[in-house]
Amino acid sequence: MNTRYKYALVMGAGFALGAIAVQGLHAQAKPPAYVIGEVTINNQDAFMKEFAIPGVKPVQEAGGKFLVRGFKPIAILGEPPPRVTVIQFDSMDKAQAWWNSPANKNMQAIGDKYATFRDYLVEGVSP
């Protein structure tokens, strides 16, 4: 076999293997997950002091990242809640592990004394 054809065959095979590997890596990537909370607070000072500020550390330790912690959302359609929180996790599994953790259950028991929550978990799009 001619040397040129050998190189072309090897390069083609390398390209094909590389394309397959890239596809495999993309298939393994898990989409991020978001915990979205709508909060109605009935005791602002106690909520901040006993729940919101101490609650940051357990979220961060579980791999969560706060993207939104906003008061006074502006309505585009319908009635907005008084406060919205969005926390990003690397995957749905990590978000659910944090949600079901003893640390979160303890914090949630404190938060329930000072606010009403409507929380949900939603999967994002793959990177």
Would you give per-residue pLDDT tens digits along the chain (127 residues)?
566 656 556 566 566 666 565 565 555 678 999 999 999 999 999 999 999 999 999 999 999 999 999 888 999 999 989 999 999 999 999 999 999 999 999 999 999 999 999 999 999 987 6
Helices 102-114 and 53-61, axial angle in degrees (round to 10): 160
Of 24, 36, 27, whose CA–CA distance to 123 is shortest?
36
* CATH level 3 topology of 33-123: Alpha-Beta Plaits (3.30.70)
Q: Where are the domains of the chain?
A: 1-29, 33-123
Q: What order of strands is seen across the sheet that includes strand 115-123?
A: 65-71, 83-89, 33-41, 115-123
| Cα separations in angstroms, 100 against 35, 56, 70, 119, 122 | 13, 16, 24, 13, 15
Output the pLDDT for position 22.
Answer: 59
- The pTM of the full predicted model, rounded to 2 decimals, is 0.74
